[in-house]
Structure 1
């Protein structure tokens, strides 16, 4: 990844990154989080993992760019509520299915 005047970061230019971050701020500052049943993207057999940032690993369903049931690694994880069944990455909300290790 190279630094440029447009602020390339995570594959986006600065304006695109700011729009994604603003969407995250809007979601996390809302008075109520969405009900899990209203979140179209499901991550099943999930676990919290790490790369250089926290993320989710699992099998995605309903994701706009990943074939249903295929393994996926999410973007950076900003909000995680396993008891509530939801998580928010920089790019979208996820409804949490079954954890890969149910003892979590």
Structure 2
């Protein structure tokens, strides 16, 4: 998840780094869709031996949704897809799927003591 400052063109090094990573991923996906092979796309890739699939938690949002295009109803409890961007004033969030306008925060968010 990357924070951003609304209305500024310069978002800083972390924002630019993550943007470049996502652009590279999308570019590779477009190439694969066009029939390119990983051998052509990967420049001197590392080898991963004894690999296995694993899971790790990703930051997301939870709350009461209104106006969601796929989850109808007002006040419907949802968990979003991976949180990618959060406005520094916490009024906007971008998940992997879509933008959310953020209303009031919960009384005690997860992780607060």
- TM-score band, normalised by shorter chain: 0.3 to 0.5
Larger Rg: 2
Under a length normalisation based on structure 1, what TM-score does the superposition of the two structures give?
0.47
Q: Of Structure 1 and Structure 2, which has the larger fraction of its residues in strand?
A: 1
Q: TM-score, normalised by structure 2?
A: 0.43
